[in-house]
Structure 1
């Protein structure tokens, strides 16, 4: 039997080499395809940028009790009382028109109640009723007074003037009531006396020959 010739051996080697090349190409293509389809190799989509929502600006704090002025008399008609409310604060003036007076101030609660205090231990306790009036009590100099003060319409309300007249320190307070009447005290160097009347339209008042201007009082 004759041995295969060199040509046959060469052809067998070429066929084997072609088979191996074909096998390697097929395997590499499958690996590449699998790598492309694998979820682990896919690029994650870039998330859309989010816009920051601006925080709403805080609302200014305001008092539920409306700003207003009130003026009236004590129930025994011996004295007058005026109260001015602004943004949750109050200032009040009690005056008998002769020698008893007191300036009081403090906070107004959301329900309209207030406790105002002044010099000498004077205290006003009051309540705003439907924004139309204030009713309450005043304790001053050992006296106890109940009062009702209606909502004031200009020129009624509370006025004050301070100045130096003929080397004397002058401090005057006036309550102008809705009927046009006035109750006030003028102190000269701390000595009280009935106050001269003011022009309610301009606030002008003459004290010892000198003209002063009484201005509306607010907290």
Structure 2
């Protein structure tokens, strides 16, 4: 039997080599493509959009109700009356003998107030449930704590100004709920106890002349 010649063997080897080279190239291309797909990161989901809610409506202010208050100091040495209207207040401190002061200022929505008068007089007060004012008055070096309850007509704060027999008259009265009156009459800068007024009409006689005291409001 005749053995294959060297040329045939060489051809067979070349064919086998070409086959293997083609197979490797095909396998490598497939592996590389597969590897690329596996290593590619998954698309990242977009974060959810957040929206800021619009600001709510501004809370409406609740101003302190209009009312009058009258009472006495804790030591019973003087009386205090306060009239509140439209967020403003006017007050009167009077001992009925020689010491008095008119004060005024704003009332905050929480019922607190800081009123000022002449010669450095100050009133610091706070409304309590709309029924009374609890506070202090600093006047002429003295410090007086007071409670003024809500006034019921005819109690409250009264004032009369006029000129009588050439003298300038300025009178202030605090009418308490029990009917007591505390007042001071100033004649050209000279204080004295004030005569009683009619708590219904405000009529009062000063040095023989009839005047009319009127309720005081800011």
Distance 1:63 1:171, change over 3 A: farther
C-alpha separation between the residues in 1 aligned to 2:83 and 2:179? 18
Q: CA deviation at 1:64?
A: 1.9
Q: List structure 1 runs of 4+ shifted beyond 6 angstroms.
A: none
Deviation at 1:63, TM superposition (A): 5.2
Matched, 1:209 2:174: no
Q: Distance in 2 between matches of 1:171 and 1:63?
A: 35
Q: Tell me by how many angstroms 1:163 deviates.
A: 0.0
Q: C-alpha distance in 2, partners of 1:169/1:108?
A: 31
Hey, what does 1:101 align to over in structure 2?
100
Task: Report the CA distance between 1:116 and its aligned residue.
Answer: 0.0
User: Which residue of structure 2 lines up, in the alignment, with residue 190 of structure 1?
Assistant: 189
Scaled by the length of structure 2, what TM-score is found?
0.72
Given that residues 61 and 109 in structure 2 are in contact (C-alpha distance below 8 angstroms), is that contact kept between their aligned partners in structure 1?
no
Partner deviation per Cα, 1:64-116 (whole Å, 9 max, x = no partner): 21000000000000000000000100000000000000000000001000000
Q: CA deviation at 1:160?
A: 0.1
The aligned counterpart of 2:83 is 84
Secondary structure in structure 1 of the residue aligned to 2:104: strand
Change (3 A) 1:62 1:158: farther
Residues 169-217 of structure 1, C-alpha deviation per residue, up to 9 Å, x if partnerless? 0000000000000000000001000000000000000000000000000
Q: Is the 8 A contact 2:125 2:134 kept in 1?
A: yes
1:100-146, Cα deviation, whole Å (9 max, x unpaired): 00000000001000000000000000000010000000000110000
Structure 2 spans left out of the alignment, 5+ residues: 1-59
Once the two structures are TM-superposed, the CA of residue 155 in structure 1 deviates from its matched residue by: 0.1
Name 2:124's counterpart in structure 1.
125
Aligned to 2:199: 200
**Does residue 110 in structure 1 map to residue 109 in structure 2?**
yes
- Checking the alignment, whether the CA contact within 8 Å between 1:63 and 1:87 is kept in structure 2 is no
* 1:174 paired residue number: 173
RMSD between aligned alpha carbons? Answer: 1.0
Residue 52 of structure 2 is matched in structure 1 by: none
Cα distance change of structure 1 residues 62 and 203 upon mapping to structure 2, 3 Å threshold = farther
Query: Does the 8 Å CA contact 2:70/2:176 hold for their aligned counterparts?
Result: yes
> What's the secondary structure of 2:197's corresponding residue?
coil
CA distance in 2, matches of 1:68, 1:160: 17
What residue in structure 2 maps to residue 165 of structure 1? 164
In the alignment, structure 1 segments of 5+ residues that lack a partner are 1-60
TM-score (norm 1): 0.72
2:150 pairs with 1:151: yes
